[in-house]
């Protein structure tokens, strides 16, 4: 069971809305609630510059790459799981807890529904929220003796073919030991938190968030014997783009957002990130969400 850490009564909050503009009403609502109680509130600098005339005059614009110096108590992600993951990119390295308010459909990661926004803020102001650590992955792309990309993933990292639908050859090792050379459309490596994302759609296992493991799931493997594999998070994973050598392409995608084009021979190295995400966890565990929203049969 994951340890729970109390969040002290908040003093300064960053509101991080979804990027399509459809959460601006919730931004205004949260701003009014927080400022009305004497708390400090900000939004990402680009949103502030675009809409500052419609925001309260004492709402701040905050640079996302300077969160560590912003002295934040909490980040409130207003959207779905994708919005929360985008906020997590900035929050985790700054060790700031993230609370999600679901404005979408499933919401595996969000703690509150759309109509519970003020209740979530009320709990935060009263010091009644808790965060739990969520495992993250450090992902590097090695090209020869150079590291050409370094990212951190809360959910998943996957290698997949590009516009030309060719089977990729992905030589995979775990803990320095060769495991398999997959011939497949791609390969997903996910955290327990990410097990309900692309991994679930690809037939991978659903993993309890409290476990310290990573899951490797092939996408449409050519061999029927290739199945998802669960490994310890302490064992580094290496995926070498080994073919085909004719016209083809492969891409690495991290948390569905950050994309790096791979060249033949590139190695994707994945291990555990030293800093977890501090997530205000949902009241319902992942299995109750599956019962409620995906039609799994619950207790009778």
Task: State the burial class of residue 12 (Cβ atoms within 10 Å of its Cβ: 0-12, 13-18, 19+).
Answer: middle
What residue ranges in 65-104 does DSSP mark as E strands?
74-79, 98-102
Residue 109, C-beta contacts closer than 8 angstroms, at least 6 positions apart = 81, 84, 85, 100, 193, 279, 282
For residue 235, the 8-state DSSP code is: S
**What is the rounded CA–CA span in Å between residue 197 and residue 100?**
16
Length of the chain counted residue by residue: 300
User: How many angstroms separate the Cα of 205 from the Cα of each of 78, 194, 198, 222, 291?
Assistant: 28, 10, 11, 20, 16
Helix, strand and coil content of the chain, in percent to the nearest 5, comes to: 25, 35, 40
Q: What is the DSSP string of 195-213?
A: GGTHHHHTTPPP--TT--E
| Residue 115 known to be catalytic | no
Give the SS3 label for residue 269.
strand
Closest CA to 124 of 89, 81, 75: 75
**What is the rounded CA–CA span in Å between residue 131 and residue 110?**
12
Catalytically annotated residue among 20, 71, 81, 163: 81
**What is the rounded CA–CA span in Å between residue 253 and residue 197?**
13
Residue 239, phi-psi category: left (phi > 0), alpha (psi -120 to 50), beta (remainder)? beta
Active site residues: 81
């Amino acid at each position: 069971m994951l340890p729970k850490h109390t969040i002290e009564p908040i003093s300064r909050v960053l509101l991080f809305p979804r990027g399509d503009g459809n959460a601006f009403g919730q931004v205004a609502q949260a701003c009014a609630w927080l400022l009305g109680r004497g708390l400090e509130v900000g939004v990402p600098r680009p949103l502030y510059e675009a809409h500052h005339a419609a925001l309260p005059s004492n709402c701040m614009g905050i640079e996302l790459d300077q969160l560590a110096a912003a002295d934040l108590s909490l980040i409130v992600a207003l959207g779905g799981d994708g919005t929360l993951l985008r906020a997590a990119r900035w929050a985790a390295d700054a060790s700031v807890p993230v609370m999600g308010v679901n404005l979408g459909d499933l919401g595996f990661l969000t703690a509150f529904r759309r109509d519970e926004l003020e209740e979530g803020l009320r709990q935060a102001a009263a010091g009644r929220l808790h965060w739990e650590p969520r495992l993250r992955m450090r992902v590097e792309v090695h090209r020869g003796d150079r590291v050409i990309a370094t990212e951190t993933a809360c959910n998943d990292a996957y290698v997949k073919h590009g516009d030309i639908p060719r089977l990729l050859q992905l030589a995979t090792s775990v803990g320095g030991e060769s495991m398999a050379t997959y011939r497949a459309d791609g390969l997903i490596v996910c955290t327990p938190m990410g097990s309900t994302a692309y991994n679930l759609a690809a037939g991978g296992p659903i993993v309890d968030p409290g476990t310290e493991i990573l899951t490797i799931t092939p996408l449409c493997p050519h061999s029927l014997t290739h199945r998802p594999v669960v490994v310890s998070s302490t064992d580094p994973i290496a995926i070498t783009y080994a073919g085909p050598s004719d016209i083809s392409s492969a891409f690495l995608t991290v948390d569905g957002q950050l994309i790096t084009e791979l060249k033949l021979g590139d190695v994707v190295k994945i291990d555990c990130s030293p800093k977890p995400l501090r997530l205000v966890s949902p009241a319902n565990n992942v299995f109750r969400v599956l019962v409620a929203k995906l039609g799994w049969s619950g207790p009778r």
